[in-house]
Chains A and B, each alone.
Chain A
Amino acid sequence: MPLPSGIYNVTYKEDMAILRTWCHWVWLIAFLAFLALIPAFATRSQLNTLITIACSVIAVHGLNLLTGYCGQISMGHSAFVAVGAYTSAIFCNNLGFSFWIAMPLAGLSAGLAGLVFGGPSLRVKGFYLAITTLGAQFIILFVIIHLPSLTGGVRSLDVPPPSLFGYLIETDYSYYYLAMPMAVITTYLVKNISRTGVGRAFVAIRDNDLAAEGMGIALFYNKMLAFFLGCFFAGISGSVYAHYLQTINIEYFTLMDSIWYLAMLIVGGLGQTMGPIFGVIFMVVLRNLIMETAPLISRAVPVLGIEFGAAMSLVVLGLVIMFFLVFEPRGLAHRWEIIKTKFRLYPFPY
């Protein structure tokens, strides 16, 4: 990363730090303060969108570790989100656990489910592994549907809102202060994982698995670790989302959602910490935009029918992915880096 002129790294610690100038700190603190102040002026539906974004960011960070860094494509990510959501709900409903214990357990159980479905990664890779993880999507949902005594089957399952010191976190306003910090913490953790030994081992496996093995990186262990970590964050996301909605249904965790997660990651940029954040914001805003404009369009052109909104979002999803794969294959995060570098070096070209 080029530094603005006049700034030199004197120690390795300085060179490895994420925030290197006082300006970085100012921006970060300003941004976090802005995040904290949003509920003061945002409407309820805007908060709803932001909470959805926060939950998706957590899940896509997990997918980024698995697919972006380690290169193991997962087509069943929303199933692992479902494992987290249902685990959390079952622990709270049936065993009376508090949300704060159920949430890590949800992460763990989703991580363990990830280990089960990550097993084939020892033998198959790339496209074939993607199909194997597609199996996870169907098997997990099948299990959920056929355990109605625990999960409610195809009917919805009620989830209690979390409470903190006797105070129920159930409004959008208060839940924002649970979901957003979780997303920020996840971002911090994933960034650190990606820049230390584990993250480098993941990228090594992604870029050249034979050479990685020759460097003493145990392929199977590290792939399983990627599955565990990726699905762990999926589970956390599922838990946070379930307790926000206070009711979950199998319909929220379909194959389509898995594909949305992948699309968010591709749009944001694979293997970059900022990728999931940009991708999720872009896709959620886009989806909301379509959902809001589609009824207006179908009212203006009645021939299109009232199903137009749902159909339109799929069409746009497809077009957006195509557009990004062709014109911006490294995602919005990469573009962001380019802009930042230009700005930092201005007025010099390098």
Chain B
Amino acid sequence: MENNRKAVLELSQLTLSFGGLKALTEVSFSLFERELLAVIGPNGAGKTSVLNCITGYYHPQEGDILYDGRSIIRLPVHRRAALGLARTFQNVALFDGLTTLENIIAARHIQLKPNPLTGALYFGPELKKEISHRRVVEDIIDFLEIQSIRKKVVGNLPYGQRKRVELGRALAMEPKVLLLDEPMAGMNPEEKEDMARFIIDVFEEKEISIVLVEHDMELVMDISDRIVVLDWGRVIADGPPQEIAVDPKVIRAYLGD
């Protein structure tokens, strides 16, 4: 079934090392259109490193990354974002000095194309532009049910809400591929359920592909279409959840011999 679907993102033979330490070794997998792919693995397996390579924070020594059939390995982070790659961070990376609203509208940078001259004058077209983007952002705020914290400075918000704002910020970029780095880490079961619901809603409504890095196995098995398992920087399994759950290599990686 996967063969006749178009791959949005193709990682081939990615190798990344920091000095003598090999973080990733020949990692290859694809993300297909309209797919929710989960990347799992024990601590230190290289899950976040993979995301950092895709978004451009890390520069792998070998291998290539194709996005829509085009190599993006040489593009800087902000250019990759402009192509439609949005991500959230494992340790929430919000703009603490801005309000929820401003955080999300700041992520409209690509669509807004700010200009200091028209911005300084603020009349006419600039005001219209601000309002039109405000409308988009308000839709996202409604969608994530964070209306009550719209004008609160995010630095003072509780953890669960900060994670939600971060998801909103990624959505504001209107991405084609959404990379979520442990969106449910450190949440209580109720918050986790909320977040899972938002992720599924996003996946179904916005027609995008999602890469989900997550620790919670039960949840990953529930919501993902396909799972890639990493261990010690290598892909050890790649397949639908039912197969992964019984894969002896995966069980060994998690439980030991």
Tell whether A207 pairs with B114 under 8 Å between CB atoms, given A213-B78, A215-B173, A217-B109. no
In the assembled complex, which residues on chain B have CB atoms less than 8 Å from the CB atom of A6?
Answer: none
Select one of B77, B116, B120, B134 contacting A214, CB under 8 A: B77
Interface residues on chain B, number (Cβ under 8 Å): 42
Interface membership of A274, Cβ < 8 A? no
Q: How far is the CA of A204 from the CA of B106 in the complex (A)?
A: 7
Select one of A1, A203, A229 contacting B98, CB under 8 A: A203
Q: Look across to chain B and name the residue whose beta carbon is closest to the beta carbon of A211.
A: B93
Interface membership of B232, Cβ < 8 A? no
Q: Pick the interface stretch among A45-53, A149-157, A194-202, A243-251.
A: A194-202
Q: Which of B77, B96, B113 is most buried by chain A, counting CB atoms within 10 A of its CB?
A: B77
Looking at chain B's contact residues, the main secondary structure is helix
Q: How far is the CA of A87 from the CA of B57 in the complex (A)?
A: 42
Q: How far is the CA of A196 from the CA of B134 in the complex (A)?
A: 11
Q: Judging by beta carbons under 8 Å apart, are B81 and A215 in contact?
A: yes
Interface membership of A16, Cβ < 8 A? yes
Looking at chain A's contact residues, the main secondary structure is helix
Q: Judging by beta carbons under 8 Å apart, are B135 and A12 in contact?
A: yes
Q: Look across to chain A and name the residue whose beta carbon is closest to the beta carbon of B134.
A: A12
Q: Judging by beta carbons under 8 Å apart, are A200 and B121 in contact?
A: no
Interface membership of A312, Cβ < 8 A? no
Q: How far is the CA of A211 from the CA of B179 in the complex (A)?
A: 13
Q: How far is the CA of A189 from the CA of B121 in the complex (A)?
A: 6
Instruction: Count A-B pairs with CB separation below 8 Å.
Output: 112
In the assembled complex, which residues on chain B have CB atoms less than 8 Å from the CB atom of A216?
Answer: 78, 81-82, 107, 109-110, 173
Give me the interface of B with A, judged by CB distance under 8 Å.
55, 57, 76-78, 81-82, 86-87, 89, 93-98, 102, 105-110, 112-116, 119-122, 126-127, 130-131, 134-135, 138, 151, 169, 173
Q: How many interface residues does chain A have, given as a range?
A: 20 to 34
- In the A-B complex, the 5 residue pairs with the smallest Cβ-Cβ separation, listed nearest first, are A197-B114, A216-B81, A196-B119, A211-B93, A207-B95
Q: Look across to chain B and name the residue whose beta carbon is closest to the beta carbon of A208.
A: B93
Interface membership of A192, Cβ < 8 A? yes
Q: How far is the CA of A213 from the CA of B89 in the complex (A)?
A: 13
Q: How far is the CA of A1 from the CA of B150 in the complex (A)?
A: 11
Q: Judging by beta carbons under 8 Å apart, are B134 and A215 in contact?
A: no
Q: How far is the CA of A201 from the CA of B120 in the complex (A)?
A: 14
Tell whether A204 pairs with B95 under 8 Å between CB atoms, given A13-B127, A193-B119, A213-B77. yes
In the assembled complex, which residues on chain B have CB atoms less than 8 Å from the CB atom of A208?
Answer: 93-96
Interface membership of A342, Cβ < 8 A? no
Tell whether A210 pairs with B93 under 8 Å between CB atoms, given A1-B151, A193-B120, A203-B106. yes
